[in-house]
Structure 1
Amino acid sequence: MKRGPESKPTQELAVFLEKASKKNGAPIWMAVAEKISGPRRRRVTVNIGKIGKIVNGGETILVPGKLLSGGVISKPVTIASFSASKAAVDKLAKAGGKYLTLRKLVEANPKGSKVVIIQ
């Protein structure tokens, strides 16, 4: 028997992502919905330093979990995640980057083009 998240906001976000995937023909949103619908103990955590090492700058990064503030980032990137620590958002802003929620990213880029998922 499959059980989904018990948190109401998480359920609503997963349904929103699934509908956006079907409406826009973008399988990326369905993949993210499946990731956040899984058990909380398996949810991804990514340090901002890992993103700083991987990206070139000017890219849109999606973290299907929590963004943490470990490490240094010096490139201006747009990062969207399920949740983020306040320190991570502050570090990103100092580097000239931008933080979005998953819902805002879907509204800004319904097709999910040029979005990179980092786990």
Structure 2
Amino acid sequence: IWREIAGRLETPNRNYAEVNLSKINRYAHNGEIILVPGKVLGSGVLEQSVKVAALNFSESATSKIRDANGQCMTIEQLLKDNPKGSGVRILR
């Protein structure tokens, strides 16, 4: 999983993913770990408590994730916490 993410992040910045909270809400399950190789935007509502790792977060996305009892983290923090990458869902 980490080789795949590294390959996606080697592309130019304009090709990074931009994922709205509505998409995370649609595909994530409660307690799941979501990895976004790009930026998380605050459009939409988050109803599940999830851990989200990304390069960047908008201010509204950060507050909405924390309001849903979720956690925002960097990709480096996720790599340190979960070196095997098990149980991680990638959204782009």
Q: What TM-score, normalized to structure 1?
A: 0.75
1:104 corresponds to which of 72, 77, 81: 77
Instruction: Give 1:38's aligned residue.
Output: 11
Gaps of 5+ in 2: none
- Structure with more of its chain in strand, by fraction: 2
| Separation in 1, partners of 2:55, 2:7 | 12
Aligned residues: 92
User: Which aligned pairs between 1:1-119 and structure 2 lie closer than 5 A?
Assistant: 28-119=1-92
**Greater Cα radius of gyration, structure 1 or 2:** 1
Identity over aligned pairs, percent = 39
- Tell me the CA shift for residue 34 of structure 1: 1.0
- Structure with more of its chain in helix, by fraction: 1
| Separation in 1, partners of 2:42, 2:80 | 26
Larger RCO: 1 or 2 (CA < 8 Å, sep 6+): 2
Q: CA RMSD in A?
A: 0.7
Runs of 4+ in 1 over 2 A off after TM superposition: none
Gaps of 5+ in 1: 1-27
3-state SS, counterpart of residue 30 of structure 2:
coil
